[in-house]
Structure 1
Amino acid sequence: MKRILTLLFFMLAGMLQPVMAADEKPAEDTYAYYGFEPEIVTNYISNRKKLGFVRISVELMVKDPQDLVALQHHDPLLRAAIVEILGNQPEDRVKSLTGREEIRRECYDTVNRLLEQETGRALVVNLLFTKYLYD
């Protein structure tokens, strides 16, 4: 009987997951997001006689929530760079899915390049367009 209880004890102990101490942090990354407020609205190069416009919501994904302070500080610089990129796009690129992804990638690269110049490191893990409207 004692052997059976000991065997059961070790079997159950092996199934239980270790409990972390209160001061330990989980090993997973904690991502944070920074959104530009208000949304970015600008014109783009249109093939028609009237001016085309694009309205986007941009979210910057960072690995460390402490980086949000730097993003907030450099918000005007980053916003101006994104507006400039959008303003230089032809209508075909703005309205196509592949063009939209190319624009997103160009914005991502530019934002990280500017942040590296200002802070010494690229802070942004990903740049997301959460709203993308055009006319």
Structure 2
Amino acid sequence: MKVWIVLCLALMLPFAAQAEEEAKAGPPKVSYITLTPPFVGNYGLDGGPRLKVYKADVALKVTGPEAEAAVKHHDALIRNQLVALFGQQTDLSTAESKEKLRTEALKQVQQVMNAEEGKPVVEDLLFNNLIIQ
């Protein structure tokens, strides 16, 4: 009987050590993934006399290594969605229009990740730099 108890305790040791390591590790790490190269293109192709150009440095906020790997894996699909969105814009001259673009871009990236991974994965989208000419 004593051997059985000792054997059970010995088998539980690795699980206890793993739980202790996870407790020490704390919450999952937040990462900001910069999509490189920056997005550059034309927008507002409404037939006006002036060509409008944008350059956007975009970063995605994710939590945990699995989310980071998923975003990197689907980088091309995310970039395609954002290029299409940026090209559809007509006016980016105000702070409100830029914020609206940021929230729409986040929504579309989350939709892409939800379709591919079954969950939104991306928590936030940030413009590190947004130049409009």
Task: Report percent identity of matched pairs.
Answer: 27
TM-score (norm 2): 0.77
Structure 1 residue aligned with 2:10:
none
Letter of the aligned partner of 2:130 in structure 1?
Y
- Give the match's secondary structure for 2:55: strand
Letter of the aligned partner of 1:36 in structure 2?
L
- Give the match's secondary structure for 2:60: strand
TM-score (norm 1): 0.76
- Give the match's secondary structure for 1:95: coil
Unaligned runs of 5+ in 2: 1-19
Unaligned runs of 5+ in 1: 1-20
Structure showing greater radius of gyration is 1
Greater share of helix residues, 1 or 2?
2
CA RMSD of aligned residues (A): 1.8
Task: Decide whether aligned partners of structure 1 residues 23 and 102 sit closer, same or farther in structure 2, where only a CA change above 3 A counts.
Answer: closer
Q: Distance in 2 between matches of 1:38 and 1:32?
A: 18
Structure 2 residue aligned with 1:133:
131
1:84-119 C-alpha deviation (Å, 9 max, x unpaired)? 11111112xx11100000000000000001100000
4+ aligned runs moved over 6 Å, structure 1: none
- Give the match's secondary structure for 1:102: helix
Matches within 5 A, 1:29-48: 29-45=28-44, 48=48
